[in-house]
A and B are shown apart, each in its own frame.
Chain A
Amino acid sequence: MLLIPCPNCGPRDETEFHYGGQAHVPYPENPNELTDTEWSRYLFYRENPKGIFAERWVHSTGCRQWFNMLRDTVSYDIKAVYKMGTPRPDSSSRATPETGTASTGPDSTTTGSAAPSTSTTSILSTTAPEGATK
């Protein structure tokens, strides 16, 4: 089971949370102008990396707040949690996914050039087994 560091409540068991899939997938800005291909990208195509994945979680039985998390999909180590609407903290090392947003304009949540927000809880450097499976 994952031990997930909720940004509001601290570390809690995975069973208190629900999964929300890939983070940073904005609704298309001009939905009427999308082609069928672009719609299919938005509706059905999501990143599926073997490695670091930016994903959404909601603390259903705690603060009931959504947040974003960087997690390794092989080791299941949690690398960082950060607020929704802020860019992923490792965005300088990896292009932010723009899946299915071909016709959308620049979006501050997905441009991925800003520095990590101060609210980011980065546990990249901790040695404690926080977020590890148990």
Chain B
Amino acid sequence: MSTQHLPEHPDFLWRNPEPKSSYDAVVVGGGGHGLATAYFLAKNHGMTNIAVLEKGWLAGGNMARNTTIIRSNYLWDESAAIYEHALKLWEILPEELEYDFLFSQRGVMNLAHTLGDVRESIRRVGANKLNGVDAEWLDPQQVKELCPILNIRDNIRYPVMGATYQPRAGIAKHDHVAWAFARKCDEMGVDIIQNCEVTGFLKDGDRVVGVKTNRGTINTEKVGLCAAGHSSVLAEMAGFQLPIQSHPLQALVSELHEPVHPTVVMSNHVHVYVSQAHKGELVMGAGVDSYNGYGQRGSFHVIEQQMAAAVELFPIFARAHVLRTWGGIVDTTMDASPIVGTTPVENMFVNCGWGTGGFKGTPAAGMTFAHTIATGAPHALNKPFSLERFETGALIDEHGAAAVAH
């Protein structure tokens, strides 16, 4: 054993308070979205007597499991508006939160492998430009110049026929994003309560008046749900249903490598997306498993398929090793767009349905959801993303339109 003493533990970034008996508002879920919501409730609306309840440890769910990609090149106006707002917030948040969470605007490429992909991609570049989102169409040679390790030969099963490119897109360190929000929340007086699982809700008629937890009952005037894959479970406790299906979504990393991959490459068609983390791991995401699941793990053949696609596109990955794989539970909707707004229960609000792409939306989800909770009505940016759209038919159909491998 070493005779040297371990250094002192660095200062904690947030307190671990006991839950109080009542709060002005309670946010259920201490992931990125819950923390961002609490941050904007405190900062923009002066609501500091609030709590974030997390059943496990802070940011241990999808916030620790995503592939950290940030972009805003969505097709439809409503999506472009909210995701571009998020991207603009990402650009100022490191300074605002006084925390460098390594937001790296290294660009995101979305590959096109078929003539259909090409047409759809060029259309999306046009739509993006009209919405003020930076976007370019690249031919295969330009793709190769930006990412030299990509195989652009035309003798592979799905050759690269071009790509859309968003230069302002990129990646960030997801853990640090959560910790940055948590520290600022804590400074403003927000109670972040870990190991506090919600087991039910107290209602007075159709109005929510409290939250039952494994650490006692908490009275509150307002409840915001930010529970991603577990949103349906909470909604059922509260007495309403959500049009959500929970699926496992898997990702993996390799061991550390020298920098070889300068940007982020996504392919909807062959279903893989790759970037290289700051430390050097290759980070890859797969598609969702087809079946409903809450198990935070999926089937191996999904990983196998993703690796096959990755190796064909990036031949040098053939000698890399998988260090670990994992799964998260994503909350998918039928139109692949989120739900941020009011619920059938008075004073209860829901932020869910971000599916496979919630990380990039974190700041905008927090800002708009905080507005919705504080004022009781949606912000202009999240108004289209209401639960009612499934009745009115005003869906925001980003399935296959959003350059994303759902």
List residues of A (33-65) whose CB comes within 8 Å of B's CBs.
Answer: 36-37, 39-40, 43-46, 48-50, 53, 55
Of the candidates B294, B299, B391, the one whose C-beta lies within 8 Å of that of A40 is B391
Residue B244 CB within 8 A of the other chain: yes
List residues of B (233-251) whose CB comes within 8 Å of A's CBs.
Answer: 233, 241-246
Residue A75 CB within 8 A of the other chain: yes
Give 28 CB contacts A-B under 8 Å: A1-B300, A2-B299, A13-B301, A18-B290, A19-B290, A19-B291, A21-B292, A36-B391, A36-B392, A39-B391, A40-B390, A40-B391, A43-B334, A43-B390, A44-B390, A45-B243, A46-B243, A46-B245, A48-B232, A48-B242, A48-B246, A49-B232, A50-B294, A55-B291, A73-B246, A74-B294, A75-B295, A133-B297
Which of the listed residues A43, A48, A53, A99 has the most CB atoms from chain B within 10 Å of its own CB?
Answer: A48
Of the candidates B232, B244, B295, the one whose C-beta lies within 8 Å of that of A76 is B295
- A14 lies within 8 A of B241 (CB): no
Q: Considering only CB atoms and an 8 Å cut-off, how many residues of chain B contact the other chain?
A: 25
Of the candidates B230, B242, B292, the one whose C-beta lies within 8 Å of that of A53 is B292
Residue A71 CB within 8 A of the other chain: yes
A39 / chain B contacts, CB cutoff of 8 Å: 391
CA distance A3 to B343 in the complex (A): 39
CA distance A59 to B297 in the complex (A): 23
A73-B299 contact in complex given A40-B390, A48-B246, C-beta closer than 8 Å:
no
CA distance A39 to B390 in the complex (A): 9
Residue A92 CB within 8 A of the other chain: no
A71 / chain B contacts, CB cutoff of 8 Å: 291
- B295 lies within 8 A of A73 (CB): yes
Interface of B is mostly: loop
CA distance A99 to B242 in the complex (A): 11
- B292 lies within 8 A of A48 (CB): yes
Of the candidates A15, A18, A37, A76, the one whose C-beta lies within 8 Å of that of B391 is A37
Q: Closest approach, in angstroms, between the C-beta of A31 and any C-beta of chain B? A: 15
B294 / chain A contacts, CB cutoff of 8 Å: 50, 73-74
A50-B233 contact in complex given A1-B300, A44-B334, C-beta closer than 8 Å:
yes
A73-B390 contact in complex given A1-B301, A45-B243, A133-B299, C-beta closer than 8 Å:
no
- Which 8 pairs of residues, A with B, have the shortest CB-CB distance? A48-B232, A19-B290, A44-B243, A40-B391, A1-B299, A44-B390, A40-B390, A50-B294
Over the window 148-176 of chain B, the binary record of Cβ atoms lying under 8 Å from chain A Cβ atoms (1 yes, 0 no) is: 00000000000000000000000000000
Closest residue to A19 on the B side, CB-wise?
B290
Question: Beyond A15-B301, A133-B299: 18 further Cβ-contacts under 8 Å?
Answer: A1-B301, A18-B290, A21-B292, A36-B393, A40-B390, A43-B390, A44-B334, A45-B243, A46-B243, A53-B292, A55-B292, A71-B291, A73-B291, A73-B292, A73-B293, A73-B294, A75-B295, A76-B295
B391 / chain A contacts, CB cutoff of 8 Å: 36-37, 39-40
A75 / chain B contacts, CB cutoff of 8 Å: 295
B245 / chain A contacts, CB cutoff of 8 Å: 21, 46, 48
- B293 lies within 8 A of A76 (CB): yes
Q: Closest approach, in angstroms, between the C-beta of B109 and any C-beta of chain A? A: 30
Instruction: Write the residues of chain B forming the contact surface with A, with a CB cutoff of 8 angstroms.
Output: 230, 232-233, 241-246, 290-295, 297, 299-301, 333-334, 390-393
Over the window 12-31 of chain A, the binary record of Cβ atoms lying under 8 Å from chain B Cβ atoms (1 yes, 0 no) is: 01110011010000000000
Instruction: Write the residues of chain A forming the contact surface with B, with a CB cutoff of 8 angstroms.
Output: 1-2, 13-15, 18-19, 21, 36-37, 39-40, 43-46, 48-50, 53, 55, 71, 73-76, 99, 133
A43 / chain B contacts, CB cutoff of 8 Å: 334, 390
Closest residue to A76 on the B side, CB-wise?
B295
CA distance A45 to B244 in the complex (A): 7
- B241 lies within 8 A of A99 (CB): yes
Closest residue to B334 on the A side, CB-wise?
A44
CA distance A99 to B236 in the complex (A): 13
A99 / chain B contacts, CB cutoff of 8 Å: 241
Q: Closest approach, in angstroms, between the C-beta of A78 and any C-beta of chain B? A: 11
B390 / chain A contacts, CB cutoff of 8 Å: 40, 43-45
CA distance A120 to B233 in the complex (A): 29
B393 / chain A contacts, CB cutoff of 8 Å: 36
CA distance A53 to B245 in the complex (A): 12
Q: Closest approach, in angstroms, between the C-beta of B35 and any C-beta of chain A? A: 23
Q: Closest approach, in angstroms, between the C-beta of B337 and any C-beta of chain A? A: 12
CA distance A2 to B293 in the complex (A): 12
- B244 lies within 8 A of A14 (CB): no
Q: Closest approach, in angstroms, between the C-beta of B334 and any C-beta of chain A? A: 5
CA distance A13 to B299 in the complex (A): 11
A53 / chain B contacts, CB cutoff of 8 Å: 292
CA distance A76 to B295 in the complex (A): 7
CA distance A59 to B81 in the complex (A): 42
Closest residue to A2 on the B side, CB-wise?
B299
A15 / chain B contacts, CB cutoff of 8 Å: 301
B333 / chain A contacts, CB cutoff of 8 Å: 44
- A45 lies within 8 A of B292 (CB): no
- A74 lies within 8 A of B295 (CB): yes
